[in-house]
Amino acid sequence: MGAILGGESIIINEDKIEVRRYLLGQLGEADEQRLECRLLTDASFIEEFDTVVDEIADQYAGDELEGEEQKRVETYFLRAAERQHKVQFARELLQHAATQHASDAGEGDAVEKTTPGFFERLRGFFRSQPIALRTATALATLLIVVGLGFQFRSVFYPANGPDALITLNINTSDRASGSERQSVKLEPGTRSLKIELILPEQFSQEQNYRVELLDEKGSPRNLRIQERTPKSLTVTIPAEEIASGSYNIHLHAVNPDSTERRIRGSYSFTRE
C-alpha cells in the first residue's frame, strides 16, 4: 500500500514497479485483478497510477526506451487511445522545445533560458490539478477531438464512398521485392480498401484461417474475413486506418483444436 507523507499519498517503490509492469502487460492474471480492484477503491492510488502512465508516455515520446520494454509499450501500453494522446502531446512538447532551442541558438542568445515556455507551463498546471478536474478536462478535450475527427472523416472518408479493391497472391519467399509488392493509391473519398487474398492451392477450402496485418514497424493487428470462396479470402480495412507505407499480411491456419500454424510466405502491398 502507499505510504503517507505530508498529508499526501505517494506510491512506494514496490507499487510503482508493479504499476509499470501492469501497464506493460507483465503481471499475471491474479495480480492484474488485485491491482484493478485497488484502482476502483483507492482514489489516491489512481493519481499515482496516472503518474506512472505519464512517466512511460514521456519516456516513449523521448525515445528513452529500447528493446523489449519499447515493444511492450507499443503492444500493451498504447492500446488505450488516451495513452496515445498522451504520447502525442509529449512529442509535441518536445518538438516545440527543440524548435525553441534552435531559434535561441540561431539568435546567438548567450543568456541561459530558465523561464518555461507556454506549453511547459500549461502541462505543469494541468498536472498540479486534482484528478477529478484533470479527468473532466481530458474528457472535454476528447469530445472536441472526436467531434472534429468525425467531421474530418465525413469529408475525406464518407460512409457511402467507394471501396478500392486489390488482389494479392502469396509470396512464398517471405520477403516481397519491389516488383512483387503491389502499390495502391486511395483517392480522397475512398471508404475502405478491400483486399482479396488468393489462397495457396495446397490448402483445403474447409480450413479456417486467421489473417494478420503488419505495418512497417511490425506491429500486428487481426483482420476480419468479410468474404470467402474456395480459392480466396477477402478482408476490408477502413481507409483512415491505413497510413502511407508498406504492409505485409500473414495467413495462419487454425486447426480444429484451436492451435495455429503460420502459412509460409506473405501478401505484400504499399499505400502511396
In the numeric block, the cell 507499443 is attached to 74
pLDDT at 117: 58
pLDDT at 99: 78
pTM for this predicted structure: 0.42
Read off φ and ψ for residue 42, nearest 5 degrees.
-120, 100
Read off φ and ψ for residue 69, nearest 5 degrees.
-65, -40
- pLDDT tens digits in sequence order for the chain, 272 residues long: 444 444 344 546 788 898 999 999 998 888 888 888 888 888 778 888 888 998 998 899 888 998 898 999 988 888 888 888 888 888 888 887 777 766 666 655 544 445 555 556 656 655 655 555 555 555 666 555 455 554 544 444 455 668 889 999 998 765 544 446 889 988 888 889 999 999 988 776 667 899 999 998 888 999 999 898 888 999 999 988 888 899 999 999 888 888 888 888 899 999 98
Cell of 250: 500473414
| Distance in angstroms (rounded) separating the CA atoms of residues 45 and 8 | 11
What H or E segment, with its residue span, contains residue 235?
strand 232-238
The Cβ of residue 61 has, within 10 Å, a number of other Cβ atoms equal to 19
Domains of the chain in sequence order: 1-114 (no CATH), 163-271 (2.60.40.3350)
| Distance in angstroms (rounded) separating the CA atoms of residues 271 and 144 | 29
What single letter denotes the amino acid at residue 214? L
In the numeric block, the cell 483517392 is attached to 187
Cell of 2: 502507499
Decide: 251 and 171 in contact? Cβ < 8 Å. Answer: no
pLDDT at 195: 95
| Distance in angstroms (rounded) separating the CA atoms of residues 172 and 234 | 19
Cell of 88: 502525442
| Distance in angstroms (rounded) separating the CA atoms of residues 61 and 54 | 10
The runs of H, that is alpha helices, within the chain are 13-23, 29-41, 43-61, 67-75, 81-106, 118-128, 131-156
pLDDT at 7: 38
In the numeric block, the cell 512538447 is attached to 93
The Cβ of residue 18 has, within 10 Å, a number of other Cβ atoms equal to 19
| Distance in angstroms (rounded) separating the CA atoms of residues 192 and 46 | 39
CA distances from 253 to 34, 126, 166, 204, 206 (A): 36, 49, 22, 10, 11
Grouping H, G, I as helix, E, B as strand and the rest as coil, residue 106 is: helix
pLDDT at 84: 86
* HSE (side-chain half, CA atoms, 13 Å) at 134: 17
pLDDT at 110: 45
β-strands 182-184, 267-271 pairing:
parallel
What single letter denotes the amino acid at residue 154? S
What angle separates helix 43-61 from helix 131-156, to the nearest 10 degrees? 50
